[in-house]
Amino acid sequence: MSIIVNHVDHIYNPGTVFEKKALNDVTFSVENGEYIGLVGRTGSGKSTLVTHLNGLMKPTGGGIYYDGVDISSDGYDIKALRGKVGLVFQYPEHQLFEEDVFADVCFGPKNLGLKETEIELRAYEALKAVGIKDEQFYVSPFDLSGGEKRRVAIAGVLAMKPEVLVLDEPCAGLDPAGREEILALADHLHSSLNITVIIVSHSMDDLAEHVERILVMNDGMLVMDAPTRVVFGHRAELEAMGLAVPEVTAILSDLKKAGLPVRDDLITIEEARSEILRVFGK
Amino acid sequence: MIRDITLGQYYPTDSVLHRLDPRVKLCGTLIYVISLFLFQTFTGYIVATVFLVSMIALSHVPVKFIFRGLKAILFILVFTAVLNTFLTPGRELVSFWKITITIEGVRLAAFMILRLVYLIIGSSLMTLTTTPSNLTDGLEKSLGWLKVFRVPVHEIAMMMSIALTFIPVLLEETDRIIKAQQARGADFESGNIIRRVKSLVPILVPLFISAFRRANDLAIAMESRCYHGGDGRTKMRPLAYGFRDIMAYVVLVLYLAVVIVVGIMF
Ligand SMILES: Nc1ncnc2c1ncn2[C@@H]1O[C@H](COP(=O)(O)OP(=O)(O)OP(=O)(O)O)[C@@H](O)[C@H]1O
Ligand SMILES: [Mg+2]
């Protein structure tokens, strides 16, 4: 599996007053097994970018290659691509429609034209993977809590056995515990099931301890593409774009400015704790 | 795509039409629509075309944008044309097998299509140049006299204004839901009619749920700001006629005169 995004532009409503260049010459590539965060302030084009990855939107310039093949070329099997690049939209719980949870999760694999037993097996595995209990399989999806609905919706995409899973703002509107659950789920999918995961977010704290590489979007342009720690070393630039570094990184760099000899390239609470203790000689 | 539906959409730019009082535009649209149904002759349609083309030119709205709204009713247009062509009795034009096409049929079909197209363009020109809040203000004020007959004018205007502002929101929502289901492999384009209708369920159920949720949120938001209907409510910008509006009425009266003359003479 590999995705290459090559000089992609996207212009909404070209030629009218509503014209908006949402993507401007975006280039990057994704390799098998990566764990990527895509950040940017609201309106920077993150959702537009990820809806290009499974061919739901067509670039107005440039091209996207999946396993080396241009996905907008004639005769490309776009339906198969949608199975390989699983896209979970912002507020995915709003797309639930079936009478019970299990049936809803079956929707994706059914559309892939699989056999009945295979469909049900996949739905079962997906629901298990996202941590939905057996007794909730046959309740109406509308009777679940917000966090559970979201996990069911993610299962709906997982059941298609994607090679790449893209989660658009998976933590929006959840409480800290719900957020941690979703992120732990993403970790699990990445490490145990070997799925390439891309998480879209504007919270650096959510991403810091999870992803290995971060792409930063600003005003339709990809302005940074580097390992997580490297990106968080650019506090001033990030803040100029309306983003922040994780709180612990901010605290360490403030301490450094105040004269304490601490390192300021740490991103997890654990690291920060031992660094501060080290400085105080404990 | 679903976003091509321009019904009730506002196109923000600056033009004479944009600056007119909404009551003038309402009145003008009404007169225009009536005139479309009065015209039975070719000359009549020339008058209607000239009027419409000059209004489009005045509106500064791109022509492409205006015509986009027609795509949505293409099916109705074709349907009407076919029915009229084949089912109108009269003098024979061509005939094959059991089907006869009459001169009257072709004529009627052509007029029907023109009428529908002009009707849609005429009324979308009004919504394209008038913000929803302005439009409903105009409606509320021009229909104010109906209050005497206990018609809830304010409530109707408020409902219309909400409906108009929600059309783009719901279209956007529909677009998003369609995309989300497509990401799960949903296919809306292939299969027979039954399969296609069935394939709408995954769109309609979430759409209705979201519409009800929005309606509920809106109702709560309005009540918590003490909305209690139209009594005693004042306006931020009360409508007032200006010189421009008087001139527009003069143009309308002239148009009406031409319509009557053409109707009698030709
Ligand atoms: N369907 C559309 N038509 C026109 N403009 C759009 C459309 N969708 C998005 N835009 C515009 O494109 C830009 C990028 O939008 P996008 O949704 O990709 O941003 P985002 O980074 O996902 O933001 P958020 O964090 O709020 O989800 C925005 O300025 C938005 O207004
Ligand atoms: Mg977004």
Query: Could you read off the pLDDT of A132-185 as tens digits, one per residue?
Result: 999 999 999 999 988 899 999 999 999 999 999 999 999 988 888 888 889 999
pLDDT at A91 over 70: yes
- The CATH architecture one would assign to domain A2-245 is 3-Layer(aba) Sandwich (3.40)
Q: Which range is most confident: A63-67, B34-38, B192-196?
A: A63-67
Do B206 and A95 make contact, defined as CB atoms within 8 angstroms?
yes
CA B39 to chain centre: 20
Q: What is the residue whose two structure tokens read 């260049």?
A: A21
Q: Which of B8, B23, B19, B21 is nearest to B141 (CA)?
A: B23
Of the pLDDT bands very low, low, confident and very high (cuts 50, 70, 90), residue A269 is: confident
Asked if residue B41 lies in contact with residue B49, where contact means CB atoms within 8 angstroms, the answer is no
Tokens of A170: 């998976």
Q: Return the best residue to mutate from A46, A89, A216 for the ligand 1 pocket (most ligand atoms within 8 A of CB).
A: A46
Does the beta-carbon distance from B177 to A94 stay under 8 Å? yes
Are residue B15 and residue B110 in the same domain, yes or no?
yes
SS (H, E, C) chain A: CEEEEEEEEEEECCCCCCCEEEEEEEEEEEECCCEEEEECCCCCCHHHHHHHHCCCCCCCEEEEEECCEECCCCCCCHHHHHHHEEEECCCHHHHCCCCCHHHHHHHHHHHCCCCHHHHHHHHHHHHHHCCCCHHHCCCCHHHCCHHHHHHHHHHHHHCCCCCEEEEECCCCCCCHHHHHHHHHHHHHHHHCCCCEEEEEECCHHHHHCCCCEEEEEECCEEEEEEEHHHHHCCHHHHHHCCCCCCHHHHHHHHHHHCCCCCCCCCCCHHHHHHHHHHHCCC
Q: Do A79 and B12 touch (CB under 8 A)?
A: no
What is the structure's pLDDT at A114? 92
Are residues B126 and B138 both part of a single domain? Answer: no
Best mutation target among A13, A49, A94, A119 (most B Cβ atoms within 10 Å) is: A94
**Which residues in chain B are closer than 8 Å to A89, comparing Cβ atoms?**
176, 179-180, 183
| Tokens, residue B19 | 């600056």
Picking from A18, A81, A95, A168 by the largest number of B CB atoms within 10 A of its own CB, the best residue to mutate is: A95
- Signed CA dihedral, B87, B92, B96, B101: sign only: negative
Burial code (b: 16+ CB inside 10 Å, e: under 16) for A42-77 equals eebbbbbbbbbbbbbbebeebebbbeeeebeeeeee
If asked whether residues B32 and B105 sit together in one domain, one would say: yes
Q: Are residues B38 and B126 in the same domain?
A: yes
pLDDT at A89 over 70: yes
Residue of chain B with shortest Cα separation from A17: B12
Is the same domain home to B39 and B154?
no
Pair (B31, B125) in one structural domain: yes
Can you tell me the distance from the alpha carbon of A20 to that of A38, in angstroms, rounded to the nearest whole number?
Answer: 21
The pLDDT of residue B7 is: 62
By residue count, chain B amounts to 266
Please work out whether the CB of residue A20 comes within 6 Å of at least one atom of ligand 1. yes
For position A188, what pLDDT does the model report?
Answer: 93
Nearest-CA distance from A282 to chain B in Å? 53
Sign of the Cα torsion A107, A108, A114, A120 reads negative
Strand partners, A87: A166
Set of chain A residues whose Cβ sits within 8 Å of the Cβ of B11: 17
> Which residues is A69 bridged to in the sheet?
A66
For residues A52-80, average pLDDT: 92
Average pLDDT over residues B234-261: 88
Chain A residues within 8 A of B180 when measuring between CB atoms: 89, 92, 94-95
Residue A101: CA count within 13 A, CB half-sphere: 27
Sign of CA dihedral B85, B86, B91, B93: positive
A97 touches chain B (CB under 8 A): yes
Report, as an integer, the average pLDDT of B145-149: 86
Tell me the pLDDT band of A221, cut-offs 50, 70 and 90: very high
For residue A108, list chain B residues with Cβ-Cβ distance below 8 A. 184-185
Residue ranges per structural domain of chain A: 2-245
**Same domain (yes/no): B12, B58:** yes
> Can you tell me the distance from the alpha carbon of B234 to that of B78, in angstroms, rounded to the nearest whole number?
47
Residues A19-63: tens digit of each pLDDT: 899 999 999 999 999 999 999 999 999 999 999 999 999 999 999
In 3D space, the residue among A58, A93, A50 whose CA is nearest the CA of residue A74 turns out to be: A58
Looking at CA atoms only, how far is residue A196 from chain B in angstroms? 17
The pLDDT assigned to A281 comes to: 81
How many beta-carbon contacts under 8 Å exist across A and B? 62
Burial class for A90, CB neighbours closer than 10 Å (0-12, 13-18, 19+): middle
Q: Are the C-beta atoms of residues A186 and A129 closer than 8 Å to each other? A: no
State the alpha helices, DSSP H only, in B12-102.
16-19, 22-38, 42-59, 63-71, 74-87
User: Which residues in B have their CB inside 8 Å of a CB on A?
Assistant: 11-13, 62, 64-65, 176-177, 179-187, 201-202, 205-206, 209-210
Provide the percentage of residues in chain B whose pLDDT is more than 90: 26
Are A111 and B12 inside 8 Å of each other by CB? Answer: no
The residue to which tokens 């639930």 are assigned:
A96
Q: Which chain B residue shows the shortest CA-CA distance from A103?
A: B202
Query: Tokens at residue B88, please?
Result: 């109108």
Contact A224, A215 (CB under 8 A): yes
Give the pTM: 0.80
CA distance B212 to B224: 18
Find the residue in B nearest to A87 (Cα): B183
Name the residue with the closest Cα to ligand 1, atom 1: A12
In this prediction, residue B3 has a pLDDT band, given cuts at 50, 70 and 90, of low
Chain centroid, CA B98 distance in Å? 38
A109-113, B22-26, B70-74: least confident range: B70-74
- Quote the domain boundaries for residue B52: 1-130+238-266
Burial-class residue A257 by CB neighbours within 10 Å (0-12, 13-18, 19+): exposed
Q: Which helix (H) or strand (E) holds B101?
A: strand B99-102
Helix (H) or strand (E) holding B102: strand B99-102
Average pLDDT score, chain B:
85
Q: Kindly give the distance from the C-alpha atom of residue A48 to the centroid of ligand 1, in angstroms, as a whole number.
A: 6
Verify that B11 and B119 share a domain, yes or no: yes
Lowest mean pLDDT across B10-19, B183-192, B242-251: B183-192
Question: Quick one: which atom of ligand 1 is closest to the CA of A45?
Answer: 18
Q: Considering chain A, what is the average pLDDT of its residues? A: 91
A198 neighbors A164 (Cβ within 8 angstroms): yes
Under 8 Å between Cβ of B182 and A56: yes
Count: domains in chain B: 2
Task: Give the per-residue pLDDT at A36.
Answer: 96
Burial of B91 (0-12, 13-18, 19+ CB in 10 A): exposed
> Six-digit token pair at B68?
């986009």
Percent of chain A residues topping a pLDDT of 70: 100
Give B153's Cβ-side CA count (13 Å radius).
16
CB–CB contact B185 A112 (8 Å)? yes
pLDDT at position B160 is 84
Residues B23 and B83 in one domain: yes
On chain B, the residues whose CB falls within 8 A of the CB of A51 are 179
The ipTM is 0.87
Atom 2 in ligand 1: which residue has the minimum CA distance?
A12
% of residues, chain B, pLDDT over 70: 96
Residues A246, A269: Cα–Cα separation, whole Å: 10
State which residue of chain A sits closest to B186, comparing Cα positions: A111
Residues B154 and B226 in one domain: yes
Q: Which amino acid is at A94?
A: H
Per-residue DSSP letter, B45: H
